[in-house]
Amino acid sequence: MLLYRLGPEGFYAATDPEGDLRFLHSDPFGTQAGGWDFGRKVPEGRRTPMVPVRPSKIVGVGRNYRAHAAELDNPMPKEPLLFLKAPSSLIGPNAPVVLPPESSRVDFEGEIAVVLRDRACRISPEEARSSILGVTCACDVTARDLQRSDATFARGKSLDTFCPLGPAIAITADRDRDLEDLEVTTRVNGEERQRGHVRSMEWGILQLISYISTFMTLEPGDVVLTGTPQGVGPLAPSDRLEVEVSGVGILENPVELWQGG
């Protein structure tokens, strides 16, 4: 089941059990996915996906794949390395990632994003399973030079347009296996640059949600970026960036230089 927010109004729509995309009459954060109330079919001309959720915060996880930590000459942390991305960095499918004049090295980091359904405070990994709404594609765009020059990741991770997210949330709530078999692939100009599987994560999705909820309460709609696999690299103007996560679809964004204004 896929959950979309459709533009320009931001109505929720979801695929019904027959696979048809229908407007959703239920609040996806207040009801079990199995009990959703579907409305009429979404007409073809109204299927423009927006950012699928408006989180109160976006939590990032650094160095969750050993091969990626090694490629940047970083040691593996002893516990998950957490950081925050500003919600103002979010963009939806097909919106441009803008390269700012303050950085000369902006990298793509394709990632599996987890969306919370329930409030989560100091929950166990097993409780985490039922608090997750689903997963989507994200790019944790990073100004590598600013990340390295600063004591925190705040500037390097939070520039406007640095968090493409979407196109849909693949609902995993109440299904046991979906979180254990997810793969993320990143392509730039059609060429594969990254491929990672949840099996290669140092800390799995449920462990991460449990760990994060110890240090900050996760709210419904909050997003966790679960780390990037090996193969990160710089973006250039006119690049076409694609991130694909199993069962979700493809998040596609063009890249352009900041033009002022």
Distance of closest approach, residue 60 Cβ to Zn ion, in angstroms: 5
Cα–Cα distance between 111 and 256 in angstroms, integer? 21
Number of residues that bind Zn ion (CB under 5 A): 3
Residue with smaller CB distance to Zn ion, 140 or 252: 140
Q: What residue is closest to Zn ion based on CB?
A: 140
From start to end of 140-248, where are the E strands?
Answer: 142-143, 163-171, 183-188, 191-197, 223-225, 233-234, 240-245
Closest among 88, 85, 124 to 225, alpha carbons compared: 85
Q: From residue 77, give the alpha-carbon distance in Å to each of 23, 58, 66, 81.
A: 44, 20, 10, 7
One of 51, 55, 109, 163 touching Zn ion (CB under 5 A) = 109
Of the two residues 131 and 228, which places its CB atom closer to Zn ion in the complex?
Answer: 228
CB 123 to Zn ion: min, Å: 23
- Phi and psi at 45, nearest 5°, equal -75, 0
Stretch in the footprint of Zn ion (CB under 5 A) among 64-72, 81-89, 107-115, 169-177: 107-115
The SS3 call for residue 248 is coil
Task: Map residues 14-53 to x or -, x wherever contact with Zn ion holds by CB under 5 A.
Answer: ----------------------------------------
Quote the least distance from Cβ 38 to Zn ion, whole Å. Answer: 35
Locus of tokens 């997963």: 135
Nearest distance in Å: CB 144, Zn ion: 11
Window contacting Zn ion (CB under 5 A); options: 98-106, 140-148, 159-167, 213-221: 140-148
Residue keyed to tokens 């109330």: 37
Q: Does 228 bind Zn ion (CB under 5 A)?
A: yes
**At its nearest, how many Å lie between Zn ion and the CB of residue 140?**
3
Does 107 help bind Zn ion (rule: CB under 5 A)? no
**CB 209 within 8 Å of CB 114:** yes
For residue 226, state whether it binds Zn ion (rule: CB under 5 A). no
Distance CA(35)–CA(24), nearest Å, equals 11
If binding is defined by CB under 5 A, does position 140 make contact with Zn ion? Answer: yes
CA neighbor of 118 nearest in space, from 107, 103, 106, 128: 128
| CB nearer to Zn ion: pick between 68 and 117 | 68
Report the interface residues with Zn ion, using CB under 5 A: 109, 140, 228
